[in-house]
Amino acid sequence: MITLGARSFSGPYLTPLWLPARAAGVCAVMVPGWRLLTFRALHFCAAEDFSASGLLKGHPRYAEWLRIAGTDWNLYVATHEMSFSTGAQREVAVRELERSYRPEFHAPAPQETPSLKTMLLAQAMRMNRPE
């Protein structure tokens, strides 16, 4: 049992030995921390069924998680079951966990290019001259 954010997760389990339950919920992908028996979350995800094939190994970021962990035997997963929950409820739980726990590895936010007016205003402010 491990607590992440304000939620209790079962695990962490080594990913090669993990036998996922047929349940919905939120899972956390983790690696060992610097101190004994501590873990760092890399990613939180909502799942309709933990036992669905490709939940972890089929994830687009799986290769990057392995690069961080070094090996499959250094990658852990913990689950928080949310039986009878909707997809929206699971997504809200993921956002709450990300907000409170701040995982070190998450999807990058899309970059918005500032408008020309914004760039000119920023340049004028840096040069400290009135517009």
Chain segment 9-18, per-residue pLDDT in tens: 887 888 888 8
Q: Are 21 and 50 in contact (CB under 8 A)?
A: yes
Q: Give this prediction's pTM.
A: 0.70
* Residue-level pLDDT at 47: 84
* Residue-level pLDDT at 109: 47
Query: In 52-84, which positions are buried (b, 16+ CB within 10 angstroms) versus exposed (e)?
Result: eeebbeeeebbeebeeebeeeeebbbbbbbbee
* Residue-level pLDDT at 17: 86
Chain segment 75-120, per-residue pLDDT in tens: 899 888 888 878 888 888 888 887 777 655 555 444 556 677 777 7
Number of domains within the chain: 1
Domain residues for the domain of 61 are: 2-127
CATH number, position 14: 3.40.1440.10
Pairing of strands 2-4, 7-14: antiparallel
